[in-house]
C-alpha cells in the first residue's frame, strides 16, 4: 500500500492512502482505498481455538518443549508461537513467510491470547529449527496420547491405517533421497490414522524411500506397546498395502494377544500356483459367458523367511482388460474370504482421502527447511492443524453436511469468514457480517461452545 505524505498548518505529517478507481457502477464512480482497520479474513479460527480449549492439544505440544531463551528478553512465548503457526496452517497459510503479513491479524491475536503484534518470520524460522530430537520424540508421544484421550472409554477395536506419501524436496535438504517411483528427490512421511474414526494417531517424517520391513515393525511395535498400556483389552488391527507386510511384525503378532493384521502381499510363482485352480476357473467362465468375473480364494501359506503359516486371500478378476490377481495376508481366520478382502482390506482406501486432507489441503508437504528435524517439526504442526479441524468436523459439525466434506470446504466456508475484531480496554468485540451463507451454523456453534464452557 503506497502512502502520500502531506503537511498540516502545524507542519505535522499526515498519511493518506492512495485512491484507486474501478469500473463505474451505473453512473457512479467506484473508488477503492485500503483504509478499513481491524478486519480479519479468518473468523472461523475462533472455533478452532474453542476446540483446542476442550481437547488441550496445544498444551500437550508445549509441554514437550524446553525454552532455553533468557526469559527477560522473550517477547513471544512458545505457546503463542505454536498457536500462531498452527492456526495459520489451518487457515491455508502454510509457510513461515506468511507470519509477516499476519502479525496484526485480530483473530489470530485472540487465538494466541496476545494483544501485541504476533511473531514475524525470522522468529518463527528460528523456532522451527530449535527443536531437538528429544523434543520431537515427546511430541510424537503427545499425539498418541491425544488420540487416546479422544475416547471416553477404551474401544473394543481400533484399526491402524498406515500409508506413506511423497513430499517433494528442492535443494540440499538433509535425508532427501531420490525416489525412482516418484521421479525426484523427496521425503516419505508415514501417516497413521484410526480406520473407523479417521482420527490422526501420529505422523513420522522418513527419508525419501519406501519403508523397510524391519523399520515398519519397530515403529508399529513401539506404537502398539504404548497403546496397550492404556487399552489392555482393545483389539488392535494393522492395515496397509504391500510394503507394510513385515515378517518381523507378523512373527511378533503371532505371540501377542488381540493383535491382528491385514496387508497386501506381493505375488510370486508359488502364490499363483496355489491360486491356479481359481484363476483358470474364472478364465473359463469369462470365456463362456463374456461377462466380468470376480472370485476369491483363501489358503495357508508360509514364505521361506516367515516363522509361521499365515492366511492368504487371493482376489481374481477376469474381464476384457485381462486377468488381475491380488493377494492379501492376514492372521484373522474367523472372517469370510470375500468380506475380509472387500470390507476389511479395501476400506483402507479411506486413509488416502485423509492424507489428501493432510497433504493437499493443509499443505503438509511444504518441507522448506534444510534441517530434517525442522521439517519433522513442521509435519507435526500441520498434523496439529489436522487434529483441530477433524475434531471440529466430527464433533461440533457432526449433524451437518460438513461432517463428510473435505477440509478445503471447511476452510472456504467456515474458516474464511470476514470478521471485525475490536480489542478494547475491558473486552474484545467480535463482529461477523449481518448476512452470509453459514450464519445459522455459526450461531449454533457459538451457543454450543458457550454451553461447553459452563
State how far the Cα of 108 lies from the Cα of 102, in Å rounded to an integer: 8
The closest of 392, 386, 396 to 192, measured between CA atoms, is 386
Residue 254 has pLDDT above 60, yes or no: yes
Please check whether residue 126 is in contact with residue 154, taking contact to mean a CB–CB distance below 8 angstroms: no
Indicate whether 283 and 397 sit together in one domain.
no
Residue 400, all three cell numbers: 451437518
Beta strand ranges found along 331-366 (DSSP E): none
Query: Residue 31 pairs with which residues in a beta bridge?
Result: 21
What confidence tier does 454 reach under pLDDT thresholds 50, 70, 90? low
Indicate whether 69 and 106 sit together in one domain.
yes
What confidence score (pLDDT) does residue 151 get?
Answer: 96
Rounded-to-10 torsion of CA 372, 377, 383, 385: -130
DSSP-derived secondary structure for 92-154:
T--SGGGGGTTTT-HHHHHHTT-SS----HHHHHHHHTT--HHHHHHHHHHHHHHHHHT-SS-
SS3 per residue for 31-95:
EECCCCCCEECCCCHHHHHHHHHHHCHHHHHHCCCCCCCCHHHCCCCHHHHHHHHHHHHHCCCCC
| Average pLDDT value for residue range 133-145 | 97
What confidence score (pLDDT) does residue 210 get?
Answer: 76
Indicate whether 216 and 229 sit together in one domain.
yes
What confidence score (pLDDT) does residue 16 get?
Answer: 60
Indicate whether 181 and 72 sit together in one domain.
no
Number of domains in the chain: 3
Residue 272 has pLDDT above 80, yes or no: yes
What confidence score (pLDDT) does residue 291 get?
Answer: 94
State how far the Cα of 254 lies from the Cα of 184, in Å rounded to an integer: 38
Indicate whether 99 and 157 sit together in one domain.
no
Q: Grid cell 505529517 — which residue?
A: 13
Indicate whether 285 and 218 sit together in one domain.
yes
Taking every pair of Cα atoms in the chain, the longest distance, rounded to a whole number of angstroms, is 100
Residue 191 backbone class (left: φ over 0; alpha: ψ -120 to 50; beta: rest): beta
State how far the Cα of 285 lies from the Cα of 279, in Å rounded to an integer: 10
- What domain range is 180 assigned to? 133-361
The closest of 260, 451, 281 to 345, measured between CA atoms, is 260
What confidence tier does 436 reach under pLDDT thresholds 50, 70, 90? very high
What confidence tier does 212 reach under pLDDT thresholds 50, 70, 90? confident
Residue 313 has pLDDT above 80, yes or no: yes
Per cent of the chain over pLDDT 70 is: 96
The answer to whether the pTM exceeds 0.85 is yes
What confidence score (pLDDT) does residue 13 get?
Answer: 46
- Choosing from 361, 381, 402, the residue where a domain stops is 361
- Choosing from 361, 396, 425, the residue where a domain stops is 361
Q: Tell me the pLDDT tens digit for each residue of 175-208.
A: 999 999 899 999 999 999 999 999 999 999 999 8
Indicate whether 238 and 270 sit together in one domain.
yes
What confidence tier does 1 reach under pLDDT thresholds 50, 70, 90? very low
What confidence tier does 2 reach under pLDDT thresholds 50, 70, 90? very low
Mean pLDDT, all residues of the chain: 92
Indicate whether 125 and 208 sit together in one domain.
no
CATH of the domain at 321: 3.90.350
Indicate whether 393 and 252 sit together in one domain.
no
Indicate whether 69 and 57 sit together in one domain.
yes
State how far the Cα of 361 lies from the Cα of 411, in Å rounded to an integer: 9
Cβ-proximal residues to 354 (8 Å cutoff; 6+ apart), any chain: 161, 191, 193, 198, 200
Indicate whether 384 and 338 sit together in one domain.
no
What confidence score (pLDDT) does residue 418 get?
Answer: 94
Query: Residue 296 pairs with which residues in a beta bridge?
Result: 315
Indicate whether 191 and 324 sit together in one domain.
yes
Please check whether residue 161 is in contact with residue 197, taking contact to mean a CB–CB distance below 8 angstroms: no
State how far the Cα of 198 lies from the Cα of 237, in Å rounded to an integer: 14
| Average pLDDT value for residue range 105-130 | 95
Q: Within 10 A of 206 (CB to CB), how many other CB atoms are there?
A: 19
State how far the Cα of 239 lies from the Cα of 349, in Å rounded to an integer: 10
Phi, psi of 451 (to 5 degrees): -70, -40
Please check whether residue 296 is in contact with residue 326, taking contact to mean a CB–CB distance below 8 angstroms: no
Amino acid at each position: 500500500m503506497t502512502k502520500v505524505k502531506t503537511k498540516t498548518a502545524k507542519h505535522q505529517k499526515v498519511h493518506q492512502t492512495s485512491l484507486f478507481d474501478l469500473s463505474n457502477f451505473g453512473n457512479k464512480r467506484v473508488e477503492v482505498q485500503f483504509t478499513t482497520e481491524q478486519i480479519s479474513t479468518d473468523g472461523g479460527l475462533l472455533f478452532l481455538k474453542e476446540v483446542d480449549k476442550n481437547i488441550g492439544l496445544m498444551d500437550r505440544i508445549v509441554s514437550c518443549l524446553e525454552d532455553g531463551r533468557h526469559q527477560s528478553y522473550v517477547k513471544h512465548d512458545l505457546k503463542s508461537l505454536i498457536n500462531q503457526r498452527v492456526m495459520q496452517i489451518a487457515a491455508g497459510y502454510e509457510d513461515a513467510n506468511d507470519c509477516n503479513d499476519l502479525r496484526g491479524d485480530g483473530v489470530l491475536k485472540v487465538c494466541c491470547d496476545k494483544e501485541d503484534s504476533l511473531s514475524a518470520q525470522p522468529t518463527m524460522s528460528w523456532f522451527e529449527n530449535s527443536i531437538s530430537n528429544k523434543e520431537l520424540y515427546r511430541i510424537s508421544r503427545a499425539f498418541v496420547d491425544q488420540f487416546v484421550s479422544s475416547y471416553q472409554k477404551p474401544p473394543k477395536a481400533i484399526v491402524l491405517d498406515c500409508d506413506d506419501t511423497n513430499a517433494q524436496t528442492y535443494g540440499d535438504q538433509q535425508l532427501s533421497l531420490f525416489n525412482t517411483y516418484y521421479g525426484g528427490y523427496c521425503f516419505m512421511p508415514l501417516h497413521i490414522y484410526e480406520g473407523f474414526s479417521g482420527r490422526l494417531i501420529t505422523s513420522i517424517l522418513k527419508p525419501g524411500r519406501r519403508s523397510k520391513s524391519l523399520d515398519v515393525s519397530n515403529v508399529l511395535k513401539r506404537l502398539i506397546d504404548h497403546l496397550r498400556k492404556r487399552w489392555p483389552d482393545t483389539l488392535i488391527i494393522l492395515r496397509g498395502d504391500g510394503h507394510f507386510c513385515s515378517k518381523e511384525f507378523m512373527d511378533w503378532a503371532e505371540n501377542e494377544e488381540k493383535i491382528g493384521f491385514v496387508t497386501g502381499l506381493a505375488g510370486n510363482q508359488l502364490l499363483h500356483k496355489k491360486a491356479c485352480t481359481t484363476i483358470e476357473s474364472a478364465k473359463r467362465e469369462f470365456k463362456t459367458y463374456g461377462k466380468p468375473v470376480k472370485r476369491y480364494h483363501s489358503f495357508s501359506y508360509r514364505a521361506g523367511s516367515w516363522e509361521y503359516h499365515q492366511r492368504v486371500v487371493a482376489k481374481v478378476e477376469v474381464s476384457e482388460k485381462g486377468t488381475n490377481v491380488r493377494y492379501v495376508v492376514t492372521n484373522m481366520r474367523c472372517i469370510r474370504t470375500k468380506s475380509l478382502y472387500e470390507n476389511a482390506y479395501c476400506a483402507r482406501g479411506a486413509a488416502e482421502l485423509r492424507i489428501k486432507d493432510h497433504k493437499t489441503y493443509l499443505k503438509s508437504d511444504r518441507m522448506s527447511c534444510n534441517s530434517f528435524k525442522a521439517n519433522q517439526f513442521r509435519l507435526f504442526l500441520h498434523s496439529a492443524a489436522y487434529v483441530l479441524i477433524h475434531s471440529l468436523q466430527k464433533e461440533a459439525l457432526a449433524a451437518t453436511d460438513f461432517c463428510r466434506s473435505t477440509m478445503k470446504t471447511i476452510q472456504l466456508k467456515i474458516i474464511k469468514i470476514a470478521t471485525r475484531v475490536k480489542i478494547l480496554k475491558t473486552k474484545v468485540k467480535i463482529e461477523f457480517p449481518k448476512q452470509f451463507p453459514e450464519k445459522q451454523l455459526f450461531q449454533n456453534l457459538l451457543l454450543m461452545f458457550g454451553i461447553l464452557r459452563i
